[in-house]
Structure formats: C-alpha cells, structure tokens
Amino acid sequence: MTFASIIVPAFNVEATLRETVKALLAQTYAPFEVIIVDDGSSDKTPRIAAEFLDDPRVRVVRRANRGLAGARNTGISLARGEVIGFCDADDLWLPEKLARHVHHLEVNPHVGVSYSGSALIDGQSALTGHAQRPRLKGVSPTHIFKRNPIGNGSAMVIRRAALNEIAYRPRSETHRDWYFDETFRQSEDIECWLRMSLTTEWVFEGIPELLTQYRINSGGLSANTDRQLAAWERMIEKLSPLNPAFFKVNTPAARAYQLRYLSRRAVSDMDGARALNLSRASLAQSKIPLIEEPVKSVITFVAAAALHFFGPKSLKTMMRLKAPARVSGTVQ
C-alpha cells in the first residue's frame, strides 16, 4: 500500500514543473506516489506532466481551473497515502524531506501537521542565501493566526486523519469533500490551518532542517495587495463564529502582522506609496508586531518610507548596507 502521497497543483508551470517532479521522484523514502493535478493549464504543462507517466509512482489528472484550493482537494480525493504532502509546481523538495516528515509523524502520534523551514531560491533555482525559519514547537492558534508558521504551501506533510477531521461537503459539491475552501483564491492556506487548529486536537509541529526550496517570484505583487487583504478579512469573517472570543482578542495584532507582510510585498514590487500606506495601517492597528519583532517592523517601515520619498535607488543603497545573510521567520 502507498503510505505517502505528494500532490502537485500545476497551472501554467511549463518552466518549472519538470524540475519539481524530478526532485520529488528523488525522495529517499518509499513507497510514495506523486499526483500532478493539472488545473486547466493552457501552456505545455500537460505535455510535460505526461512525460512522467512511464513511472508507476506518478499519476496525472486534468481538471477545469478551480484554483489552488480546488487542485489540492482533487489531489486529496485521489490520494492513497496515509500521509499527504503538497508541493507547488515551482518549488523543490530535498531528497530526504519526505522521509524526515514520515518519521516525525510516526514517532509523534499527536502531531497532525509536520512542516520544515525553507531555503529561498530565485527564478533560476539558485539559493538566495535567505530562508524561512519558522517556529517549530508550542504552536497555538494564536501563532498560526498572527504568523502562519508553516510559511508556504510546499513545506508541510499532513496526516490524512487530520485532514479527514476538517472535511466538509458544500451544498454545491456532489463528487468530493473539501478540505481547503475553494471559494478562496488567496488566504486558502491560513484559512485551512486556522480552522484545523481551532476545531481539532491535532498539533502543528516543525522539524528544523531547511527541507523545502521555496521559489521567490517578483513582479505584480503590490497590485494584488487589495485582493490579498480582502481574502484575509473574509477568512476572519468566515471563521469568527467558531470562537468569537479568540478573534476579538487576537484580530488587531494579527491584522497588523498581515498589513506589515503586505507592505513588505509592496516594497518588493517597488510600490512605495502602497508600502508606506500599509506600514502606517499596520502601526495603527496594533503595536504588537513592533514590540515582538522590533527590527523587522522598523526595517519594513524605513524601507517603505525610503522607497516612497526617495525612490528605488535609495532603497537599493540601504539594502546593500544592510545585506543580511539570511532572513529568519516566515514570509510575513
């Protein structure tokens, strides 16, 4: 029996899919399967996925576009594994990643979601020298709400039993359960993790190695900040009835962290006005990010202000002077 399933949502990823699947097939753990879910691609993605069908470990399914949440739900419905991993089609797994997570889950029966840190890579798959080093233990719903310790969609391996506890079937769905909410095209990850943390006893726990390589793509980021924020706010609206007291206490600080994250994304896209407005909004919501993470909060505000008032050249000069070897924490 296949013990582990790895689901690869794939939408117009002809440039990276082949490298991603090759990295997954190099996993040292066995047995496992790779399920590529072609989410209605219009480029060469279907042809590249078909190249791997000679490998009995690979299955490919093509569906009309339903977004990342829909592709993951399709993969889960087809998966035969007792543990299920997700790898976005532009990210990479190190060869030992699956083995490390399976072992982690086997020796810790209370853990439902196992995740790792991630090294950041660029468009050419070169390491940038930066990393996501999330909180690994003692993860509460508050931590998930404020800082999403999983970090990215390719970092986690989940026990099927944990997914089964949050499965539901909306009235419009006749064929399969939902685990991720397909009405979200953004914030689908945090919605799922927070819902699981608030409604089940499963523990979220990380392992310290940087076992995922997470690709950073620049361009067009700040243009999406309004939609990202709207999706995040809708997530709060949806989940608040589960625990109104929790959201009343924690939402201001979590919103401040989210606004700071969006400000950093706007800085990355060189949108100074948007970055500064978001930084100011973050400070107005709550001072907790400034208290808990003063260096990162100050750097974000200064970078946004420098970009807005003095232009990209000043920001690039400041970054050269700062030049950190690596980034700790999550992408927020």
Q: What is the CATH number of domain 4-215?
A: 3.90.550.10
pLDDT confidence of residue 330: 43
Tell which wins on pLDDT, 314 or 69: 69
Tally Cβ neighbours within 10 Å of residue 176. Answer: 14
Residues 6+ apart with CB under 8 A from 127: 119, 120, 121, 213
Where are the domains positioned within the chain? 4-215, 222-322
Cis status, amide bond into 31, omega within 30 of 0: yes
pLDDT confidence of residue 322: 53
Q: Is the pLDDT of residue 222 over 90?
A: no
Give dist(CA 32, CA 12) in Å, integer.
Answer: 25
Q: Is the pLDDT of residue 131 over 90?
A: yes
Angle at 291 between CA 287 and CA 292, to 5 degrees: 115
Return the structure tokens found at 242.
Answer: 């589960």
Pick the closest to residue 158 from 69, 67, 86 (CA basis): 86
Q: Which string of b and e fits 264-278 if b means at least 16 CB within 10 Å?
A: bbbbbbbbbebbbbb
Q: Which amino acid makes up residue 111? A: V
Reported as a single tens digit per residue, the pLDDT across 3-17 is: 999 999 999 999 999
Give dist(CA 52, CA 308) in Å, integer.
Answer: 48
pLDDT confidence of residue 323: 46
pLDDT confidence of residue 324: 40
User: Residue 319's pLDDT band (boundaries 50, 70, 90)?
Assistant: low
Reported as a single tens digit per residue, the pLDDT across 263-308 is: 998 988 888 999 999 999 999 999 999 999 999 999 999 999 999 8
pTM: 0.90
Reported as a single tens digit per residue, the pLDDT across 51-65 is: 999 999 999 999 999
Q: Is 173 helix (H, G, I), strand (E, B) or coil?
A: coil
Give dist(CA 179, CA 172) in Å, integer.
Answer: 15
pLDDT confidence of residue 221: 44
Return the structure tokens found at 232.
Answer: 């995040």
Residues 6+ apart with CB under 8 A from 54: none
